[in-house]
Amino acid sequence: MTSPGFPAVRLRRMRRTRGLRRAFTETRLHPADLVAPVFVKDGIDQPVEVDTMPGVVQHSRDSVRAEAKRLHALGVSSFILFGVPAAKDAQGSGGWDRNGPVHAALRALRDDLGDEVVLWADTCLCQYTDHGHCGPLTADGQVDNDAAVAGYVRQAVTQADAGADLVAPSGMMDGQVAAIRDGLDAAGHARVGIVAYAAKFASAFYGPFRDAAESAPAFGDRSAYQEPPANRREARREVALDVAEGADVVMVKPALPYLDVVADVRGRYDLPVAAYHVSGEYAMIKAAADRGWIDGARAMHEAVVGIRRAGADLVLTYAAGELAQALQEG
């Protein structure tokens, strides 16, 4: 059987040389498409390597400034900050401590880099609670949705006070986006945007992140508030609610196992769409490359381009620096 149009139609013509392939590339990667997750830990003087995430460290309050300058020089202009506090409690009150690691880093990076960078602040309490869940608990051990949201509002307002351009609630509590919007507006922060973790799935790919953020739950898991991995229609409902509540950006997390959801969101909304290439996705590529099983640099680029091709405007990835370096080198 002959292909329609053959031999006049030969798609290989446009792939013959590197120049042709470059000229007809449909999806390009640029450092401005990338958001670098950055961990800041209290009580350390030097960066501490994260064993399960090669190339990723917990930064001290000083070293985070150097890292942001390094990434900015490579063209990465957006950072999302995660805090690892020195002390935790049942309420997660460190999340709104104005002297906490994220708040201090926001002020320092704003002083260093001004409006040349976009500063995102993770807005969640799992790093700050002594039980590792995303908000205070009820007597029967469930996360108290409304108390958690009240904490997120306090946290978001103080993050905005410290200089955040965007706050990013990741707890998957019902009503969190609307409450944060109201809280920010009431505090005079109408210009601060909200990146909603609109479709965040209860994923097995978060393990290395929990090492870096020291946020593994002390009991149970987060299935009662994050989305079941099999539920695509529910993801659409979650995104619709966050859009209605006033989200400025909607996010899908993780990215690679949920490219169908990324494409759904892209197809339905004109809001910017972000996708989180999460720690497990990153660590798998690093581990396989370390064993010589794959070309790590090519695989990382291919993974992130795939997320962009599915429709994400922005990709949060631990590979932001190495991808930007490779793009700079051509």
Q: What positions carry a catalytic annotation?
A: 200, 253
Amino acid letter at 71? L
* CA separation for the pair 134, 269 (Å, rounded): 28
Residue from 260, 232, 251, 255 nearest 302 by CA? 255
List of residues 6+ apart from 109 with CB closer than 8 A: 64, 65, 68, 79, 117, 119, 163
Residue from 93, 246, 242, 82 nearest 155 by CA? 93
* CA separation for the pair 115, 157 (Å, rounded): 19
* CA separation for the pair 308, 275 (Å, rounded): 9
Residue 92 φ/ψ region, left for φ over 0, alpha for ψ in the -120 to 50 degree band, beta for the rest: left
DSSP assignments along 238-261, one per residue: HHHHHHHHT-SEEEEESSGGGHHH
Hey, which bits of the chain come out as E strands?
34-41, 48-49, 57-59, 78-84, 118-123, 166-169, 193-200, 249-253, 273-277, 314-317
* CA separation for the pair 312, 237 (Å, rounded): 18
* CA separation for the pair 37, 110 (Å, rounded): 16
Encoded tokens for 60: 């001290």
Encoded tokens for 193: 């945007």
Hey, which bits of 9-136 come out as E strands?
34-41, 48-49, 57-59, 78-84, 118-123
Place of tokens 């446009």: 14
Indicate the pairing of strand 57-59 with strand 48-49. Answer: antiparallel
